Amino acid sequence: MPLKYNVDYSTDAVYSEGVKVDICAGLTLPFYPMRPTRGRILERAPNIKQLYYETVEEHRWVMQPKLNGDRACLAVVDGKVYVQNRYGGCYRMKVANARDFLSLPNRTCFDGEVFKQNFYPFELLCCNAKSFLRAEAQERVRLAKDMTLFIGHPWLFETPSLPWLLRRSKNLPAFEGVVLKAFASPYITLGSATQSSANWMKRRWRS
């Protein structure tokens, strides 16, 4: 039976339902991306300061702002851009900057967010068919930043400063909190959309 694709020619993105796409060893679209557990609300300044020093100063965690968008993974395979949602299905909304990722090596895959119709990576999972799933979280983040800047896109996941954290809900609506990732942890895909990852934790502020 021939494969059927729903192609958005305005973005060069290919959305495929029920089709498996091999990216690199150990990674095939679709998959269930890592999903953070829910931590306590970021509310009191002393607790936020303690979190900052334990995370940033002592290198226990990688801290990234939590962009208030749609979780998505983007892969470049054989001249096409594939985008999936966190449920392991097609991401059917427009991704306006999808074409830009075609300048990257074949068989490259990111985890990230779609925000205001643009995809913003926060981790690199594979590049040129080389897997980074077993690399440390801090390395996957660093590589995602390098490749994001290479294609001329803004990097939205820089380690937050303490003053930024203390702004809390004033960072809304763009940012709804932070995600903490165990510094040296690998990337382990999940078995279902309802599972969560012990090595990732989501901390939101009150809206």
Q: What residue segments make up the domains of the chain, in order of their start? A: 8-204
Residue 202, amino acid: K
What are the tens digits of pLDDT across the range 43-58?
999 999 999 998 887 8
pLDDT of residue 4 exceeding 60, the answer is no
Q: What's the average model confidence in pLDDT over 147-164?
A: 97
Per-residue confidence (pLDDT) for residue 166, from 0 to 100: 97
In degrees, rounded to 5, the angle at the alpha carbon of residue 191 between the alpha carbons of residues 83 and 13 is: 5
Edge-to-edge order in the sheet of strand 70-77: 6-8, 13-15, 80-85, 70-77, 108-115, 118-127, 130-131
Long-range contacts of residues 158-163, Cβ cutoff 8 Å, at least 24 apart: 158/64, 158/65, 159/56, 159/62, 159/63, 159/64, 160/52, 160/63, 160/64, 160/65, 162/48, 162/49, 162/52
Please tell us whether the domain made up of 8-204 is placed in CATH 3.40.50.300: no
Q: What percent of the chain has pLDDT over 70?
A: 91
DSSP 32: B
Q: What's the average model confidence in pLDDT over 110-119?
A: 98
DSSP 99-167: GGGGGSPSSEEEEEEEETTEEEEEEEEEETTEE-TTS-HHHHHHHHHHHHHHTT-----PPPPHHHHHT
Neighbours of 146 (CB within 10 A): 11
- pLDDT band of residue 13 (cuts 50, 70, 90) is low
pTM for the model stands at 0.91
Per-residue confidence (pLDDT) for residue 17, from 0 to 100: 61
Per-residue confidence (pLDDT) for residue 12, from 0 to 100: 52
